[in-house]
A and B are shown apart, each in its own frame.
Chain A
């Protein structure tokens, strides 16, 4: 086995980190439709293709719906295909998001997570990504530019594993990652080639070998079995994700978690739960709170689909209190992560803080103050006052 020994660190944006990952994964077809903050991903891929750094075909399409349709067609034809989008663009391709999942075609996409309008807004939120959570795609969220690259390369391998055979999307926060430059260690092509086996998929649509896909099912039971098989594959994906993260570590020395990363969770009684770039500030808040005698840890979700049941049971089932920060809200119910988590820890006090909506910046001081206040509720009453809190303009509403 060949392992990465030399570092090749470049100061690049999250978007260029995505493009590097797609190039290293030897993607053969890229479909592109521009939308902020994603656009520089496909621009960079176009540059790689035009300058011969990447042996692929670029298809310029007239909409995001067609972008995913084109990538799906190429993937169904047997090659790695790639596209990227954001916000309204992701919603516009939502029909195809379902279509690709139910077709069981492995395909990887990047999502620069961004607010949905109106009002027109290009900043960061997780509503677009989490709106896809019922489709059957694996859904992951990176926390820094290195993780963007590592997670995407791993996603190709996970989605093409025969135990999984589902598509996957990797989210990166608008501007906070997409446009922020920082050092990223770019692995050698030989390392990635070794890590990514030849593409596997359940079937290939090719000339001269006609098959029919997606026609009316003969019975409802056939369709129900498809969705049940997808459910089981999602469960299988959990172990595949864990194994894949460890395999990557063997080759590159890098491991930033599998389905989750638990930060300072040893002896923690209270847990913050979150995902994406703002978990960096949550880590800083944990450090501040620990320095002040609070026994707090951060449970960072790397994947929301599949949801990390085993890790939740391991770390959170005996907590004194769990505080979820959601950067999205399911109107009339609660934050998406809170809704997924709540019923899995039925005997633990848990509360939701919906924050960062519209791209509002929430920093480490704000996290530590909010968490302090909420912990004091449990310390006094044994329970949080509210199930759902909104944090807007620096204040709990």
Chain B
């Protein structure tokens, strides 16, 4: 079982990202839960969503020690403890441009970065001035964790999202571009 925590801002699509991942897992014959932050959501405010992917999942309690942390906005690193509870040898994936490659990681943690905002904008995935970063970040997540197959992710994105084709292209591009930090 893999437990993932998404840090984003209200409106960035962290909850949708978790749901898309569960849908992709289903296509791979796995189970999953997409769990939103248990509170009141506001646009722009820091939000958290979780996903649990695996076989024969019984537990439903909160995820305290995630295997993977995904950060949809690198500015959040200064505002919230995105590494809280992250397993030793855990993985962190950050939406970040190359110019911010000075991100400090906790010891033992493997860090990856992808410029999901740039990829989203280049595919015209912008809503009310906000780049829709959740699909590219999922493409990168699939590359660095292998939690589901890229094919299932792409199929799920096409089936569920209005601009399915563009989102799928963005996911594939991020899958190819994601790189190790440091």
Q: How far is the CA of A180 from the CA of B40 in the complex (A)?
A: 14
Given A11-B19, A179-B38, A181-B22: A281 and B61 interface contact (C-beta under 8 Å): yes
Nearest-neighbour CB distance to chain A for B142, whole angstroms, equals 17
Q: Which of A89-97, A222-230, A327-335, A361-369 lies at the interface with chain B? A: A361-369
Q: How far is the CA of A280 from the CA of B33 in the complex (A)?
A: 13
A156 at the interface (CB under 8 A from B): no
Contact status A182-B38, CB under 8 Å? no
B82 at the interface (CB under 8 A from A): no
A72 at the interface (CB under 8 A from B): no
Contact status B33-A180, CB under 8 Å? yes
From A283, A287, A363, residue with most partner B Cβ within 10 Å: A363
Q: How far is the CA of A183 from the CA of B60 in the complex (A)?
A: 14
- CB < 8 Å neighbour of B60 from A9, A181, A278: A278
B66 at the interface (CB under 8 A from A): no
A176 at the interface (CB under 8 A from B): yes
Tell me the nearest residue of chain B to A363, going by C-beta.
B61
Q: How far is the CA of A183 from the CA of B53 in the complex (A)?
A: 12
Contact status A281-B60, CB under 8 Å? yes
Contact status B58-A280, CB under 8 Å? yes
Contact status B59-A284, CB under 8 Å? yes
Contact status B60-A180, CB under 8 Å? yes
- CB < 8 Å neighbour of A361 from B18, B23, B58, B62: B62
B64 at the interface (CB under 8 A from A): yes
Tell me the nearest residue of chain B to A282, going by C-beta.
B58
- CB < 8 Å neighbour of B19 from A144, A181, A280, A283: A181
Residue numbers in A under 8 Å from B36 (CB-CB): 175, 179-180
From A177, A179, A180, A287, residue with most partner B Cβ within 10 Å: A180
Q: How far is the CA of A179 from the CA of B62 in the complex (A)?
A: 13
Contact status A11-B22, CB under 8 Å? yes
Contact status B23-A11, CB under 8 Å? yes
A270 at the interface (CB under 8 A from B): no
Contact status A364-B61, CB under 8 Å? yes
Q: Using a Cβ–Cβ cut-off of 8 Å, how many residues does chain A contribute to the interface with B?
A: 26
Q: How far is the CA of A122 from the CA of B38 in the complex (A)?
A: 8
A325 at the interface (CB under 8 A from B): no
Residue numbers in B under 8 Å from A82 (CB-CB): none
B109 at the interface (CB under 8 A from A): no
Contact status A277-B38, CB under 8 Å? no
Residue numbers in A under 8 Å from B40 (CB-CB): 122
Q: How far is the CA of A277 from the CA of B31 in the complex (A)?
A: 17
Contact status B58-A284, CB under 8 Å? yes
Residue numbers in B under 8 Å from A174 (CB-CB): 38
Q: How far is the CA of A284 from the CA of B58 in the complex (A)?
A: 6
Nearest-neighbour CB distance to chain B for A279, whole angstroms, equals 9
Nearest-neighbour CB distance to chain A for B159, whole angstroms, equals 10
Tell me the nearest residue of chain B to A263, going by C-beta.
B58
Contact status A180-B35, CB under 8 Å? yes
Tell me the nearest residue of chain B to A173, going by C-beta.
B60
Q: How far is the CA of A11 from the CA of B16 in the complex (A)?
A: 11
Tell me the nearest residue of chain A to B22, going by C-beta.
A11
A263-288 vs B, CB cutoff 8 Å, 1 = contact: the mask equals 00000000000000110110110010
Residue numbers in A under 8 Å from B26 (CB-CB): 9, 11, 183
Given A9-B26, A11-B19: A182 and B62 interface contact (C-beta under 8 Å): no
Contact status B59-A175, CB under 8 Å? no
Residue numbers in A under 8 Å from B60 (CB-CB): 144, 176-177, 180, 277-278, 280-281
Nearest-neighbour CB distance to chain A for B95, whole angstroms, equals 22
- CB < 8 Å neighbour of A183 from B18, B32, B62: B32
A303 at the interface (CB under 8 A from B): no
A-B contacts, 10 of them at CB < 8 A, read A11-B26, A11-B34, A179-B38, A280-B60, A281-B58, A281-B59, A283-B58, A284-B59, A362-B61, A363-B64
Interface residues in chain A, defined as those with a beta carbon under 8 Å from any beta carbon in chain B: 9, 11, 122-123, 144, 174-177, 179-183, 277-278, 280-281, 283-284, 287, 359, 361-364
If A122-B38, A283-B58, A363-B59 are given as contacts, then 9 extra A-B residue pairs at C-beta distance below 8 Å, sorted by A number, are A11-B26, A11-B32, A11-B34, A176-B60, A182-B31, A182-B33, A183-B32, A281-B59, A363-B61
